[in-house]
Structure 1
């Protein structure tokens, strides 16, 4: 489970004294870190850093990521964790104070003056999520935040000088994925045997002879893995899932394969199979050794548990594997005169 936390540092560049917080602090003096933060790292949900105690005064919003320096001049006296569920955000804006006049529901980043509220949002109700909003541009340092359940009857009540123009939902922290490959439900899709090599040794003598050409050969094979997700998946593009395949597809595979959600959702692993060749050929015998490889394709259902901000949900995918590491020998002895 990924825990929501912020790691604060005394100096820029993540240097000096540090402290890890997992819940809001209304007064940084109680943890001996008031006005002493110069850089920070956020893991999980966003945090809001305030200049004054009790979450007062000017503030800055920090979403998941690393900040080698901060733009609040070290003057941080309280910090608040945004604990609201940030998935499926929605906010309703009104063209006049006290939730009157025309209204619009916004579910994503928007510039209100380009829509039906040409003068911006005068009042609003946060239906879900948490929203960063300003009365001018996207990069304004004077952004304010409104959280699910809040109703603001007039923009000035959260210290904005003008109606809201630009807004965007705060991003939730990255989810944690737990993958359960249901090997007991594995189905064979196809099976094919092919010849990799043919080795011939001829012993025309009356005595057993050693096959001295070679005592073994290496054959390179591969395991290919492809993950197929449903059309309605909420797994983010770019997310990496670790698949523990050790001993399940091949005893020669000894590591975990990662599959990335996106345009390419497959990966392969190359393994080397050393085949021992018999070293003795009977008298008056032609020895033929065929090196064969069996390629088997499987389909396996996969259960993926997605956890973010202590909320869990389960999705399903299909894992298709082609295992070509089963290399065997067949021997044929033929008498010769």
Structure 2
């Protein structure tokens, strides 16, 4: 991981050499006094102007140097192996660690305080420090190593009691490998969002092509973020990649926004045709999933390895699908109200409730109160109401005008031309054939056997009950006490009075 690449000429050109450990004498490797540019990865390196780490020292921290300060003058290279995390140095005002003292843990310009040019000795607790003679890092400089105790400045450093600026060497960026712990993932939320709806209606008896194109493109989004643990030791500026999947490599950089949003376009295939006499509905849906996954970070720095945990979180809306349903249209002239929520996928059979009956002849059992359009046949429940011209199959025991017997539910009402045996209080449209209950009134021309008190329209055929009054020309068998109009034929009961010209079959004595 820690390496330095040196070049013969500036801008990384000419001959080159790469080293990963200390080089006491570059001349032995035929590369002495020729370095003009270099690249450093990992920990800092120190280049010396003399062999065996003698002469003036120049520090090169991680980075690229297209030109060095002292080109063609370096004879030795040394890698800084020390731990550079949490640096600390203690400065003393007088030699031999006497007088006032000052503890420094970061780069400091002493010219802005009371210790400028007043340092006489120091102790290094942690890290490697660069000491400068002038503010801003100018003038003479020297290195202070961990554990070093320098009792007097003047004879050893040549600073002549003048120290104005100091800073610790920066460690190289750690190498971080990230692994998602998918077995511990957690789905926080999941939902489907409607992004498009396409409707096609085919009222013909032949299959028709869908008006929409066979494929459409839709935009998808993927929002993702990374959260470091609260106890992380990683510093700002660190970056690494997180391979979420083959097509998604998420780059994390600490200190910046550790989140990103990706947008892509996805093609969705649509049904190509609409079946005969059917309505096709296509719903294009985007599935959004909020997911969190623990991430194991393996950090390698200066030949030491440690681990930390982080968390990857994403809101994915990249899955788009088309769901379609095919619903048969009612027969011509009919209106159908299918049960709520019924919908058919193309090529499947619409499985409605057992015994259901459709306008095209299929059988189904509608629920009470369902209403059918003209021409449909169904077994209605109590209180159902039919549209004009509908035919329906009454339940057992009902009685039809043509002799069929059945019992309809109370309160049913038929439109004009329908055939049924209504319950008490029902009113029949003109021309209907029925056997009305007591108090019912029949339209002109209706055939019926009225109950007591019913009144028949002119020309109707019925057997009226007691007290019924028949219109002129009606044919009936009146009950006791009934009175027939002139010319009517009936079999009156005992005591019945006939009009002139009436033919009567008297009751048996």
- TM-score in terms of structure 1 length: 0.91
Q: Deviations over 1:11-54 (max 9, x none)?
A: 12222111111111111111111111111112111111111111
Look up the match of 1:290: 283
1 CA distance for matches of 2:323 and 2:27? 77
Contact (CA 8 Å) 2:182, 2:293: kept in 1 or not? yes
1:220 shift after superposition: 1.2
Look up the match of 2:8: 10
Q: Deviations over 1:161-206 (max 9, x none)?
A: 3342210001111111111111111111111212111111111111
2 CA distance for matches of 1:74 and 1:149? 33
Q: Deviations over 1:254-278 (max 9, x none)?
A: 2312133234221122232221111
Contact (CA 8 Å) 1:135, 1:162: kept in 2 or not? no
Equivalent position SS for 2:138: coil
1:329 shift after superposition: 2.4
Contact (CA 8 Å) 2:111, 2:135: kept in 1 or not? no
1:257 to 245, 250, 255: 250
Structure 1: tracts of 5 or more residues without a match: 248-253
1:118 shift after superposition: 4.5
1:324 shift after superposition: 0.9
1:114 shift after superposition: 4.2
Whose radius of gyration is greater, 1 or 2? Answer: 2
Judging changes above 3 Å, is the alpha-carbon distance between structure 1 residues 321 and 207 closer, same or farther for their aligned structure 2 residues?
same
What aligned pairs does 1:27-42 form with structure 2 within 5 A after superposition? 27-42=25-40
1:234 shift after superposition: 2.6
Look up the match of 1:47: 45
1:232 shift after superposition: 3.5
Structure 2: tracts of 5 or more residues without a match: 332-509
Q: Deviations over 1:210-234 (max 9, x none)?
A: 3253111111111110112233433
Q: Does 1:312 align with 2:305?
A: yes
Q: Does 1:58 align with 2:56?
A: yes
1:116 shift after superposition: 5.0
Larger relative CO (CA 8 A, sep 6+): 1 or 2? 1
Contact (CA 8 Å) 2:26, 2:76: kept in 1 or not? yes
Contact (CA 8 Å) 2:222, 2:315: kept in 1 or not? yes
Equivalent position SS for 2:140: coil
Look up the match of 2:91: 93
Judging changes above 3 Å, is the alpha-carbon distance between structure 1 residues 333 and 73 closer, same or farther for their aligned structure 2 residues?
closer
Contact (CA 8 Å) 1:226, 1:320: kept in 2 or not? yes
Contact (CA 8 Å) 2:117, 2:161: kept in 1 or not? no
Look up the match of 1:167: 166
1:99 shift after superposition: 2.1
Q: CA RMSD in A?
A: 1.8
Look up the match of 2:215: 216
Equivalent position SS for 1:108: coil
Report how many residues are paired. Answer: 329
